[in-house]
Amino acid sequence: MKLQMVNVTRKFGDFRAVENLNLTIENGVYGLLGVNGAGKTTLMRMICTLLPPTSGQILCDGKDIFKMDGEYRNLLGYLPQEFGFYPDFTVKDYLLYIASLKGIRPMVAGKRVKDLLAQVGLTKSANKKMKKLSGGMKRRAGIAQAMLNNPKILILDEPTAGLDPTERVRFRNLISELSEDRIVILSTHIVSDVEYIANEIWLMKDGQIMQQGNLDQTLASMQEKVYACEVSQADATKMMKKFKVSNMKSERGMVELRIIAGEPPIAGASVVEPTLEDVFLYYFGEKGGEME
């Protein structure tokens, strides 16, 4: 299975949400990172055929996905950032209902729903009404509905938004488990969602992919270094206005800073290994004094 985006642009009036995008995607997990408004959701919606490109093509094994129509959608599973459901449906009834909308035969749907409920850890909640579920349980029901047709392309838009850390870890593990023999595209602004499970990371800003590669390549793409230093509170305030500070910690009357800079911010600052959070700040952050 191969998806290709060839010179894909999507405009809304004069605004270019996605601009001249060229990507080749094969089986694996792809983490799409960017701040809100970067164009991530527009890109997801185009891949799901909910929005046509203004120009360019999206191809699935060489065929235009918009010309493939139902043939392509049968390969697709989609979990939008906000997905709709009838609050008084039970989890099981909700999944059976979505299965019927997808044209899955009742006998096949029954077994598929049972298997998916077990896979996402909702077997004991199968007869609980959707409105009674926690945020994490609703997201798990959402990924179950996306997997009903055993899709070869799974699109997840901000799947862990609003979840607590425990649910995020559970969700990441589930995504990793589901990623065998399929394309999984995970759009998020939460760095930890992709740091450990993505085979390839895309950094998107202003409708364009600024950097793509595996974790090591992404970390190596920074043209500046990460420094650690310990300063007074007064100096920390000044340095936060001057540099990109990815972390600060107050201890024993001093402040430990983690700073991204082209040269040592102060004498004695030590170079440390970068993290994906550092890379995110490098590409998308501003110096403290420049932020509104």
- Whether residues 70 and 118 share a domain: the answer is yes
- Whether residues 21 and 59 share a domain: the answer is yes
Residues 6+ apart with CB under 8 A from 204: 32, 33, 34, 38, 39, 40, 43, 210
Please report the pLDDT score of residue 173 as a whole number. 85
| Full residue range of the structural domain in which residue 276 is found | 225-290
- Whether residues 148 and 98 share a domain: the answer is yes
Ramachandran region of residue 24, left (φ > 0), alpha (ψ -120 to 50) or beta?
beta
- Whether residues 96 and 125 share a domain: the answer is yes
Residue where a domain stops, chosen among 174, 195, 220? 220
- Whether residues 163 and 252 share a domain: the answer is no
- Whether residues 178 and 245 share a domain: the answer is no
Helix/strand/coil (H/E/C) assignment for every residue in the chain: CCEEEEEEEEEECCEEEEEEEEEEECCEEEEEECCCCCCHHHHHHHHCCCCCCCEEEEEECCEEHHHHCHHHHCCEEEECCCCCCCCCCEHHHHHHHHHHHCCCCHHHHHHHHHHHHHHCCCHHHCCCEHHHCCHHHHHHHHHHHHCCCCCCEEEEECCCCCCCHHHHHHHHHHHHHHCCCCEEEEEECCCHHHHCCCCEEEEEECCEEEEEECHHHHHHCCCCEEEEEEEEHHHHHHHHHHCEEEEEEEECCEEEEEEEECCCCCCCCEEECCCHHHHHHHHHCCCHHHCC
Q: What is the dihedral of CA 255, 258, 259, 260, to 10 degrees?
A: -170
- Whether residues 231 and 286 share a domain: the answer is yes
CA Rg value for the chain: 22
Quick: pLDDT tens for 266-289.
999 999 999 999 999 999 886 443
Burial of 267 from C-beta contacts in 10 A (0-12 / 13-18 / 19+) = exposed
Point out which residues pair with 217 in neighbouring strands.
none
Whose CA is closest to 144, among 194, 188, 87, 94? 94
- Whether residues 136 and 237 share a domain: the answer is no
Residue where a domain stops, chosen among 220, 240, 261? 220
Please report the pLDDT score of residue 286 as a whole number. 63
Q: Six-digit token pair at 137?
A: 């349980």
Residue 202 has φ and ψ, to the nearest 5°, of -110, 130
Please report the pLDDT score of residue 291 as a whole number. 38
- Whether residues 15 and 73 share a domain: the answer is yes
Mean pLDDT in order along the chain per 10 residues (292 residues): 95 94 94 90 94 97 94 92 88 96 93 93 95 89 92 90 80 82 89 88 94 94 94 92 92 91 93 94 67 36
- Whether residues 47 and 77 share a domain: the answer is yes
Residue where a domain stops, chosen among 180, 195, 220? 220
Please report the pLDDT score of residue 127 as a whole number. 97
Burial of 4 from C-beta contacts in 10 A (0-12 / 13-18 / 19+) = middle
Q: State how many domains the chain has.
A: 2
Which pTM value belongs to this model?
A: 0.87
Our measurement of the distance from residue 256's CA atom to the centroid of its chain's CA atoms, rounded to an integer in Å, reads: 30
- Whether residues 242 and 106 share a domain: the answer is no
Residue 91 has φ and ψ, to the nearest 5°, of -60, -45
